[in-house]
Amino acid sequence: MKLDILAFGAHPDDVELGCAGTILKEVSLGKKVGIVDLTRGELGTRGSEEIRDEEAAAAAKILGVSVRENLGMRDGFFVNDEKHQIEIIKMIRKYQPEIVLCNAIDDRHIDHGKASKLVSDACFLSGLMKIETELNGEQQSAWRPKLVYHYIQWKNIEPDFVVDITGFTDKKIEAILAYRSQFYDPNSTEPESPITSKNFFESLNYRSRDLGRLSGLDFAEGFTVERCLAVNSLGDLL
């Protein structure tokens, strides 16, 4: 299955928190989108691997993505080395996306920055013909995505561009709430973490509003880029 966009996240819920609105919009435009989670989020303060698996599947259905896979890397301990790069390359070559979305370039959680660089490096290496990979016994062809964009997570990184997600924010929150074990619940008796606070949950809405305010939109999601952006003409800008 060839995809238009492949979104990577270090943990289940990273993609939802960082770029669910963008994914929902692209799916509504007829684009084929997939998600690859690197880990099962087994070190999370709340929940379990099995619960996170169920939540990720429920969120994927809400987002309308064509496929969601989990590579089963070690939460907190995966590294940017050949072994892990090859696993990412196999996914890139399997789905041949034109665009890859991945974790924030720098963030509070150490896995986010690591995943960002790991996926970015794998996107380049995936285009090298002399790196040979097999999937299900079949030789894969080299493939390099045309574009790699990094979504924004905990830290307020200044975006290089934003996507108008007006009309998709309610569905984005619905996808995030599919992770019922992870976020604000006044009735929960489980331990607290930075993402279980009411303040964090409310920040998801006001960040989108603020990025929209700065861009003349109602709601927006921000991304950083790896190379200079170009437009065909000035009229392409909103």
Q: DSSP label at 127?
A: T
Q: Mean pLDDT, to the nearest integer, of 207-213? A: 97
d(CA 198, CA 182): 12
210 forms beta bridges with none
* Domain regions of the chain by residue span: 5-236
Closest CA to 142 of 123, 124, 128: 128
Instruction: Tell me what pLDDT residue 54 has.
Output: 98
Identify the pLDDT of residue 237: 82
Q: Where does the chain show beta strands of DSSP type E?
A: 5-9, 33-39, 67-73, 99-102, 134-135, 138-139, 147-151, 161-164, 220-225
Rounded to an integer, what distance in angstroms lies between the CA atom of residue 229 and that of residue 147? 10
Which tens digit of pLDDT belongs to each residue from 216-230?
A: 999 999 999 999 999
* CATH classification for the domain delimited by 5-236, as one of 1.20.5.50, 3.40.50.880, 3.40.50.10320, 3.40.50.2000: 3.40.50.10320
pLDDT at 55: 98
In the numeric block, the tokens 């996914």 are attached to: 91
Does pLDDT of 52 surpass 90? yes
| Mean pLDDT, the chain, integer | 96
- Is the pLDDT reported for residue 33 higher than 90? yes
